[in-house]
Amino acid sequence: MSKDKKLKHLASTIFLEDLKVGLERSISKKIGEAEIKMFAEISTDHNPLHLDLEYAQKTMFKGRIAHGMLTASLISAVIGEQLPGHGSIYLHQDLNFLSPVRIGDTVEATVSVQNIELKTRK
């Protein structure tokens, strides 16, 4: 993959006129105890599946897992910091969680330009 197509942790702003279909950016983050605890406090989601090892070991996951929305929030980081960057927001998201994220796992979120609508600026 070319250097232009995939740069990690590069804060930038790409103007609509400079976007190209196929352009992508990524961020990766190691999920630790601190991230899970902070997300629980911010979201007020204190599900013991995320916070209580004894409880979580009795579930189908056989241990603690990260909040799904914690991992999904990395998408927002890529959009707001890299592609297209500062000043942008996104309006829609569809998620499918395929496997649990555990403490110590590294998650990568990749955003790619699939379509550009210059007339509506979307």
CB proximity list for 121: less than 8 A, separation 6 or greater? 16
| 80-90 residue pLDDT tens | 999 998 888 88
Name the amino acid, one letter, at 41.
E
Is 102 in contact with 63 (CB distance < 8 Å)?
yes
Task: Take residue 12 and report the two structure tokens written for it.
Answer: 């930038």
* Angle at which helices 68-81 and 33-43 cross, to 10°: 90
Enter the pTM of the model. Answer: 0.80
| 41-54 residue pLDDT tens | 999 999 999 999 99
Q: Helical H runs in the chain? A: 33-43, 48-51, 53-57, 68-81
- What is the three-class DSSP state of 18? helix
Q: What is the pLDDT of residue 2?
A: 41
| 3-47 residue pLDDT tens | 444 444 556 788 888 889 999 999 999 999 999 999 999 999 999
Is 121 in contact with 16 (CB distance < 8 Å)?
yes
